[in-house]
Amino acid sequence: MPLTITSRDNERLKHAVRLLGSAKARREEGLFVIEGARLCMDALQSGADIREVYATEAAAKRYENEVQALFAAGKECFFLSPSAAARLADTKQPQGIFCVCAALDKQARLYTIKKECKILALEEMQDPSNLGAVLRSAEAFGMTGVLLSEGCCDLYNPKVLRASMGAVFRLPFVRTPDFEGALLELSANGVQTLAAVVDAEAQAITKLDLKGPAAVVIGNEGNGLRPQTAALCDKRVTIPMKGRAESLNASVASAILMWEMTKE
């Protein structure tokens, strides 16, 4: 029978709260927190290593099947009082279900994805909601790998996890401190690298033949790709626009570029 945590000052609860709020703690301990019935079940069904499960008694009644499955999979399980659950919640309408998981073992070396068809490469993407939305689109369009620079926001940020709708659990990804070197390696191994830029002189993505292996490289929300990064790529590409807007939101632009890369 799971123990019940009632105190907001319980050490186990405080540890989970620290993981929820600190990217540094998540990196150092190799653990992260997820919230909500759907996301926790996504983790379970994707084979994530679930270390701890927390649920309120109300959640155990409302989501009986889900909580039972999670309690069966979790290494340690606890009931939370409503006040204790409120401390761990990161959503406006919490469902009262939480898991602490081990960092995902999906950070395969680059050579395991460089021969695949379509890769999304992200440089310095720092908005968690944007990153989560981009990962959701990447899964939807069937991208075969995601490459992230070291300057991208934490993949296990709660907003990234929620916005990705579980894609974080299913997409192969590589986070590298040598983003430029990774792009050069992709290019050297026959993967066409495409720098996404806002430039009328760049090639329109809609006019390119993208049937072969390719990686589209997308930059920071405010500044785009660094010039030196764009210069390393095989081609500079842009999304044709007719209105007066100078650029698109990073997640919208990413979705359009991935659609063009993967459409038949």
The residue extents of the domains of the chain are 3-102, 110-262
**Cβ burial, residue 211 (10 Å; 0-12/13-18/19+):** exposed
Angle at 17 between CA 11 and CA 20, to 5 degrees: 150
Structure tokens at 28: 């150092």
Tell me what percent of the residues of the chain surpass a pLDDT of 90. 63
Residue 36 has pLDDT above 70, yes or no: yes
**Contact of 25 with 148, CB cutoff 8 Å:** no
Task: Calculate mean pLDDT across residues 28-38.
Answer: 95
Domain 110-262 has CATH 3.40.1280.10: yes
CA separation for the pair 140, 158 (Å, rounded):
20
Q: Output the pLDDT for position 107.
A: 58
Residue in this structure with the two tokens 């990161």, named with its chain if needed: 90
Higher-confidence residue of 108 and 156: namely 156
| Homologous superfamily of 3-102 | Ribosomal protein L30/S12 (3.30.1330.30)
Q: pTM here?
A: 0.88
Q: Coil, strand or helix: which one is 49?
A: coil
Residue 33 has pLDDT above 80, yes or no: yes
